[in-house]
């Protein structure tokens, strides 16, 4: 009787163990499929963001390259304007000197003791002062243009350096998978995880089969004696003792 109960308990335990293992394996598969799906979607999102980021960086780099080229042309324009301002300043300064000399000359012209042009001498002097002021203003403009050229050159250099750095960043980000796992990066984890799930399923199935076999064995042993020859011999001895007592 003890062996029958032991076999029945073992069969039930193996069956429950197998069912629990199948339930755990199913839960693992559900969680694993959901997790790997989320990782795959995240990987695709990162990849699309990487492509968009590389495109934006290259666009900004092209804009900076064009701007740096425009600063070179602007420097040439500033050089031309500075040269023109310098030439105009010298011309105004020379003209102011000429007008001063003319004013002084007409002031001393005398005809029969009269100085008929003495009245226009102040006008020459005033024009000379205006030309002198113009020369000073043009000189200031020339100096300001020189400073602006230096500033533009520095800005152009900074833009060129920034454009080179952006190109380097775009080159480093142009490699697929730089922001996440590569498409084949999850394959070893998937193989290991699904292999573990398969092992749990096989163990659970084996436990269920073993439980069924033990249960059938218990039923078979319950229908027949466990040691039929020993039981038969015991029965024969009892019968013989009964006949001896009867005689």
pLDDT tens column, 166-220:
888 888 777 766 665 566 667 888 888 899 999 999 998 998 888 888 888 777 7
Residue 246 inside a domain? The answer is no
Question: What is the chain's mean pLDDT, rounded?
Answer: 75
Residue 26 lies in a domain: yes
Please indicate, yes or no, if residue 247 is contained in any of the structural domains: no
Among 218, 223, 211, smallest CA distance to 2 is for 218
Report yes or no on 125 lying in a domain: yes
Please state the pTM of the whole predicted model: 0.52
Considering the domain boundaries, does residue 14 fall inside one?
yes
Identify the pLDDT of residue 94. Answer: 79
Q: What is the mean pLDDT of residues 28-55?
A: 83
Answer whether residue 64 is part of any domain. yes
**Position 81 in a domain:** yes
Task: Domain count for the chain, please give it.
Answer: 1
The yes-or-no verdict on residue 141 having pLDDT over 60 is: yes
In-domain check, residue 155: yes
The pLDDT value given to residue 4: 63
Domain with 78, as residue range(s), is 2-236
The enclosing domain of 175 has a CATH number of 1.10.287.950
- For the cut 60, the answer to whether the pLDDT of residue 36 exceeds it is yes
């Amino acid at each position: 009787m003890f062996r029958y109960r032991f076999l029945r308990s073992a069969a039930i335990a193996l069956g429950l163990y197998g069912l629990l293992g199948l339930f755990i394996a199913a839960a693992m598969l559900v969680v694993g499929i959901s997790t790997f799906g989320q990782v795959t979607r995240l990987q695709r999102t990162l990849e699309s963001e990487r492509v968009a980021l590389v495109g934006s960086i290259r666009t900004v780099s092209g804009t900076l390259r064009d701007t740096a080229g425009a600063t070179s042309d602007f420097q040439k324009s500033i050089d031309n304007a500075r040269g023109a301002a310098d030439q105009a300043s010298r011309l105004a300064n020379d003209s102011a000197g000429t007008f001063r000399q003319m004013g002084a000359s007409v002031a001393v012209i005398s005809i029969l003791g009269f100085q008929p042009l003495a009245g226009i001498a102040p006008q020459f002097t005033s024009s000379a002062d205006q030309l002198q002021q113009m020369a000073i203003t043009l000189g200031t403009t020339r100096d300001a243009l020189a400073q602006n050229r230096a500033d533009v050159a520095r800005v152009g250099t900074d833009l060129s350096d920034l454009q080179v750095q952006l190109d380097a960043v775009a080159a480093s980000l142009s490699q697929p998978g730089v922001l996440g796992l590569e498409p084949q990066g999850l394959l070893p984890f998937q193989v290991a995880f699904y292999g573990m799930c398969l092992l749990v399923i096989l163990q659970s199935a084996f436990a269920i089969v073993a439980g069924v076999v033990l249960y059938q064995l218990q039923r078979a042993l319950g229908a027949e004696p466990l040691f039929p020859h020993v039981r038969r011999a015991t029965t024969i001895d009892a019968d013989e003792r009964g006949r001896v007592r009867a005689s």
